[in-house]
Amino acid sequence: MARRALITGITGQDGAYLAQFLLDKGYEVHGMVRRASTENFERIAHLRDRLVLHQADLLDQLSIITLISEVRPHELYNLAAQSFVPTSWLQPLLTSEFTALGVTRVLEAIRLVDPSIRFFQASSSEMFGDAREEPQNERTPFWPRSPYGVAKAYGHWITVNYRESYGIFACSGIMFNHESPLRGKEFVTRKITDAVARIKLGRQEKLKLGNLDARRDWGFAGDFVRAMWLMLQQDKPDDYVVATGRQHTVREFCQLAFSYVGLHWEDYVEIDRALFRPAEVNRLRGDATKARTVLGWEPTVTFEQLVRMMVDADLERVQAELAQEVAAGGS
Ligand code: NAP
Ligand code: G4F
pTM of the model: 0.98
**pLDDT value of position 22:** 98
**pLDDT value of position 331:** 55
Q: Which ligand is nearest to the CA of 79?
A: 1
**pLDDT value of position 1:** 83
**pLDDT value of position 329:** 84
Q: What is the mean pLDDT of residues 286-297?
A: 98
CA of 267 to the centre of ligand 1 (A): 34
The residue nearest atom 24 of ligand 2, judged by CA position, is 214
**pLDDT value of position 28:** 98
Which residues are CB-contacts of 148 (< 8 A; sequence separation ≥ 6)?
82, 83, 84, 85, 87, 88, 95, 99, 124, 126
Q: Which ligand is nearest to the CA of 185?
A: 2
Pocket test for ligand 1, best of 7, 43, 83, 175 (most atoms within 8 A of CB): 83
Q: Which ligand is nearest to the CA of 225?
A: 1
pLDDT at 203 over 90: yes
* Whether the CB of 173 sits within 6 Å of ligand 1: no
The residue nearest atom 45 of ligand 1, judged by CA position, is 11
The residue nearest atom 18 of ligand 1, judged by CA position, is 58
* Whether the CB of 124 sits within 6 Å of ligand 2: yes
List pLDDT tens digits, range 146-199. Answer: 999 999 999 999 999 999 999 999 999 999 999 999 999 999 999 999 999 999
* Whether the CB of 80 sits within 6 Å of ligand 2: no
The pLDDT > 70 percentage for the chain reads: 99
Q: What is the mean pLDDT of residues 265-274?
A: 98
List pLDDT tens digits, range 55-74. Answer: 999 999 999 999 999 999 99
pLDDT at 12 over 60: yes
List pLDDT tens digits, range 84-108. Answer: 999 999 999 999 999 999 999 999 9
CA of 83 to the centre of ligand 2 (A): 10
CA of 269 to the centre of ligand 2 (A): 17
pLDDT at 111 over 80: yes
**pLDDT value of position 209:** 98
